[in-house]
Structure 1
Amino acid sequence: MRTNRREFLAATTAGIAAASLGAPADGRPQAPIRRIATEEAFATPELVKAWLAIARAEPGSSLDVPTGILSIFDNPRPGSNQDRFRRQLLDLDAERLADMEAAGVDMQILSVTIPGVQMFEPDMASALAITTNDHLAAAIARHPRRFAGLACFAPQDPVRAVREMERAVKMLGLNGFIVNSHTGNLYLDDARFAPILEAAQALDRPIYLHPRAPSNGMAGPFRDYSMGGSIWGFGVEAGTHAVRLILSGVFDRYPRLRIVLGHMGEALPFWMWRLDHMAVRRAKDGRMKPLALAPSAYFRRNIAVTTSGFEAPEVLELVIKTAGIENVMWAIDYPYENSRDAVAFIDGARLTPAQRSSILHRNAERLFHIE
């Protein structure tokens, strides 16, 4: 049987596409794979009211104000992205579920958007954490097959934070925790937050370390050119936080603690060789305390990475090599990123069927205790 050039090219292209999706090259249909999106944001009306109050009263108090709160929630221009973000952050029912259905997303793991409860005084922050987690648990109860959730808490008051962490897991059935990076310009390696890290380890639930605008100590250079947000400042800030956790010895003290980093690891995979190299040098000359392991070993043991808002195949390849396939999870970063684009990216990635299953659902099911 003769095959003309057009038929040959069509068959070859189909075979390559099938291979890139991990499907058989003979075109047989592939069994559907569960898609769990692991960094999907929401807000509550109570939080929005509190954010706007502090933003209007103290507009220069935090770089979070111009990079997020005011632009999204303070009368955004109708039809703008900010207006859509506001509407979709507040929706945990019809529009969100319709978007998931259209894109082929089976479940979202919901977490409160930046800056969460971390810019308020301790009493208010603790109260808002409770109401926010109740709001989240109610949404999951309405749609238990479609949503799981990460609890927020107020690091400003570690005692009450631990109490809320325990309630969130044991009573509300939530799947982990969200910390929107720095609190009062402090990071989780600070000794006062030790009870929080101890509780997360004891509860066997990860802390998703999500970016926010750079803390006041590093905010200056980010105020120009809109650099404080997702274009640069968010990743630099969260990556700095994670490096502090590694180099401080936190993971020597809490070896079973799990931290999740979004956005392909906030640049740490790129830096890992140099972190290993310089950690040894600084330990030898006395500039830092020696660690039990290399930074790269902590990265693989204690840190998981999601793809949220980062659809670059070459970066995904680096992340898999650096973190290990068992520590990589898929995410969209809804509503800030497009669900269909995120699905197309992961469906088109050159992965084996086993790798695809790990990234799309198995790792999330294991780490976040999802049935």
Structure 2
Amino acid sequence: MPDEIIDVWMQQPNARFMAQPWLETLVRWTGMSRLAPTTAETLDAMDAAGVRLGLLSAWHSPHGVLISNDEVAALVERHPDRFAGIATVDLTDPVGAVREIRRCVRDLGFVGVRVVPWLWNLPPNDRRYYPVYVACVEEDVPFCTQIGHTGPLCPSEPGRPIPYLDEVLLDFPQLVVVGGHVGYPWLPEVLSLATKYPNFYVDTSAYAVHRLPAELVEFLRGRGRTRVLFGSNYPMLTPAQCLKKLDELRLGPEAKECFLGGNARRVFSLPL
């Protein structure tokens, strides 16, 4: 393993988050506990896989906050060498969302913004996202989102890359977008966007790497080695579970370093 692994999609969930009914399918598939892990357990899970830094996501749903930006900021403050923050916003309050992104980036040092489309049942070309995109460009942070089908029993259509993300990337050529959860079953659409747009990236969260679609692995080995980032979606999967069979991908040294940490450091402008 390289000296540095960065996990670009993690959560430090609270009881409110773990009680959400839409987690039921993930609990059934993964056998994960409904009990929120402690911070110590999260750090142990990172250490078990050699993860140097985890990007912790805040979560906001149409019904309110699930994991607040301030909760994430408090964890980052306590463990600045292990965590960085990914902010979230309320799409129904566009002015408040812009102000919150500015606060999180300028005052709290967050390195990105994440909104999960299936949670809102709104594809990313919906007008309610557009103030968020402007704020991300102005603050020079990536917009992180989910692509592909949903694990929870919610509509998958908002995760379809074309036309939704295609339109966003056309409208905001300066916006850096990281699409998490791979994008299955629309891999040809995902890879076409990653080929077409220099600011679109893919992360492998929610997948053990040996279960990644073959098309994505081929992309990662070759022309896409600077465009794919490692993520786990902890605690749904641990980093160790995700990386257990990394050698089966047969990545060259450059592709492995980029995938496990180099791309994340560059895309999120993380300090050396």
Q: TM-score, normalised by structure 2?
A: 0.83
Deviation at 1:211, TM superposition (A): 6.1
User: More helix per residue: 1 or 2?
Assistant: 1
CA contact (8 A) 2:145 2:177 kept: yes
Deviation at 1:198, TM superposition (A): 1.0
- What is the identity percentage for the equivalent residue pairs of Structure 1 and Structure 2? 28
Change (3 A) 1:106 1:347: farther
Instruction: Identify the residue that residue 45 of structure 2 maps to in structure 1.
Output: 99
Letter in 2 for 1:138: A
CA contact (8 A) 1:156 1:183 kept: no
Question: Which one of the candidate residues 350, 353, 361 is aligned to 2:261?
Answer: 361
Letter in 1 for 2:131: P
Deviation at 1:354, TM superposition (A): 1.1
User: More strand per residue: 1 or 2?
Assistant: 2
CA contact (8 A) 1:156 1:184 kept: no
1:81 aligns with 2:31: yes
Instruction: Identify the residue that residue 330 of structure 1 maps to in structure 2.
Output: 230
Instruction: Identify the residue that residue 284 of structure 1 maps to in structure 2.
Output: none
Secondary structure (helix, strand or coil) at the match of 1:205 reads coil
Q: Deviations over 1:182-227 (max 9, x none)?
A: 4653333122432111111121211111369x8xxxxxxxxxxxxx
Question: Which one of the candidate residues 3, 6, 9 is aligned to 1:39?
Answer: 9
- Name the CA distance, whole Å, in 1 between partners of 2:128 and 2:54: 32
Change (3 A) 1:175 1:365: same
- Name the CA distance, whole Å, in 1 between partners of 2:121 and 2:127: 14
Question: Which one of the candidate residues 115, 118, 122 is aligned to 2:61?
Answer: 118
Question: Which one of the candidate residues 53, 68, 71 is aligned to 2:23?
Answer: 68
CA contact (8 A) 2:12 2:42 kept: no
Deviation at 1:301, TM superposition (A): 1.8
| Gap runs ≥5 in structure 1 | 1-29, 53-64, 215-227, 277-294
Question: Which one of the candidate residues 126, 143, 151 is aligned to 1:229?
Answer: 151
Letter in 2 for 1:361: G
Change (3 A) 1:333 1:238: farther
Letter in 1 for 2:61: Q
Deviation at 1:176, TM superposition (A): 0.1
Letter in 1 for 2:98: V
Instruction: Identify the residue that residue 218 of structure 2 maps to in structure 1.
Output: 318
Letter in 1 for 2:136: A
Deviation at 1:297, TM superposition (A): 4.2
1:150 aligns with 2:79: no
CA contact (8 A) 1:39 1:332 kept: yes
Deviation at 1:98, TM superposition (A): 1.4
Instruction: Identify the residue that residue 164 of structure 2 maps to in structure 1.
Output: 245
CA contact (8 A) 2:187 2:216 kept: no
CA RMSD of aligned residues (A): 3.2
- Name the CA distance, whole Å, in 2 between partners of 1:369 and 1:201: 14
Instruction: Identify the residue that residue 179 of structure 2 maps to in structure 1.
Output: 261
Q: TM-score, normalised by structure 1?
A: 0.63
| Gap runs ≥5 in structure 2 | none
Deviation at 1:244, TM superposition (A): 3.4
Instruction: Identify the residue that residue 109 of structure 1 maps to in structure 2.
Output: 55
Which shows bigger deviation, 312-321 or 258-267?
A: 312-321
Give the count of matched residue pairs. 267
Deviation at 1:154, TM superposition (A): 0.6
Q: Deviations over 1:47-73 (max 9, x none)?
A: 44xx96xxxxxxxxxxxx64327996x
Change (3 A) 1:369 1:307: same
Letter in 2 for 1:307: T
- Name the CA distance, whole Å, in 2 between partners of 1:296 and 1:95: 35
CA contact (8 A) 2:5 2:50 kept: yes
Deviation at 1:316, TM superposition (A): 3.8
Deviation at 1:247, TM superposition (A): 4.1
